[in-house]
Structure 1
């Protein structure tokens, strides 16, 4: 029996090396990305529901972008706090702000996709740039950096949305998971198989939205205005990535493990609606991670081929560490490199916990 377990372990290591070198290496070892202002007309779209404090801080950062031709479409999704009033003040203050007021609709109650659809239809520019109400750009060149990747063919741009650094293990776990997710969708996009993006930093030409009839195919799914749209609309020909640090956005991470756990439950549930291949490749990666550690424990417990097992363990860790280190450097998350072994283990068992929990209850979505 142990010999078969050992052979299975070798196969798992090969799968892991394929992902880290064959796929993730496409982003990790890519050249730095330059930006060049194109001056194409852009609508920056922000949808907010009960985000009074965040929009007070972050909308001025969007309005002060160093870009010649852009508007900001602020969507108030039937907020019960003072978000709408704050938006109305900004509308008076900045001439390029357009306000969309969403009333609760019985058919689309609390559905962010409905609110976004109204905002997209109200926008006046042909290119759309999305971020969340609790996000802020890293620089005044954010619009320039993101839109610089648009070409006649490339009409969907996947960007990076990170989280602020804090002194806690939870913060490192959240940020590492964010980096790993970005490495995955950046790398698969470079491989010609884009499958998701994040609404914290995403851009596409308006015609891409109407080409797939907006969110209608997955309107019944309360989440996924970003990744499900990309999963449906993106392909090798029309999608590229933007990873110049000037074009990053950041937001404040969850402050407790339980809050973050709930957030990740929503993300996993949304991924169940991806295309078949995308679900398979994600499942294969995460299951191979789990089996890698379980089989190491089993084989070393019985001291079966322990020298070979340790050699394979070291090889996998060295390559994964190098790839993730280069990737973290590109995303300005270099401090995470030394935490790789610890946070990887936490993430693996968090995934198991999420899978089991989601079997017995459904996560809560948009506010």
Structure 2
């Protein structure tokens, strides 16, 4: 509100004495206060606008791997999904984080288009590294840079997930040139090494990327009545690996039925339980994307790395409810692909059966007439 008032009075800078993240949220919402006035509803409309944009980005992602009809259905499911609807009227950074993360996924999917220039220059192109991004439009690069900038300001630990997704996409883009595939795939090592060595900087503390450090960081988040698995502790990397499946279940689907003790928990639980069904369907949807192996591999790299990383360090169902909206659109997209394929197959089988019955009836009637 203060920023909008300053703009109206002609003052453009030096208004906000806040952190960079809060300043970004203020700048992205101030235009709505400028238009609708000094109401909290104006800021909520701003968040709702960015929340609705998540549906559009989901549509753009889905168009890369499935039909327009499925893309529309996936976008609709995302826009009206309970957790995304709820987060889309609360003035926080979560919607901006999710929108930026999904934008990087969209660009990553476009990156997977193989660079086939070497087919036209078989002797020359092998040595041309400049062609690696030749076919990627400047607008895509600009969007990627903006999205990465927003992620760095709002939740920079997510850059590890973005890095993994982009490296996988680039490696698959160059899959037809073996040496490039190996070189780009090898970029995963420095990406992960940098994150490992600078883990404390990413999470904003002095925690090292060790089992003890992760355990300390996770338990710092296990506060309040929404905390779960508080008796669980990491003493080795084996503990982290063994507990990961359980932690993933809690991260994606909490509050689980035995955690519900209020109406708020029940309403939040409906979203998690619905997501459980969608996750079961998503496996089939992933298989059905066999026509786009490189794109489904990129989606898998994003979802698996992100969900696993968050699950390991998350121990609060309220925070999990907020932060999983970054991955819900991918799960719902795969679930929609699975559901529409079942529906189509049932109709096809029914049509086949009806044609057979019709043929049998026609032949019987003809024989009787004869």
Instruction: Using structure 1 for the length normalisation, give the TM-score.
Output: 0.22
Larger Rg: 2
Higher strand share: 1
Higher relative contact order (CA 8 A, sep 6+): 1
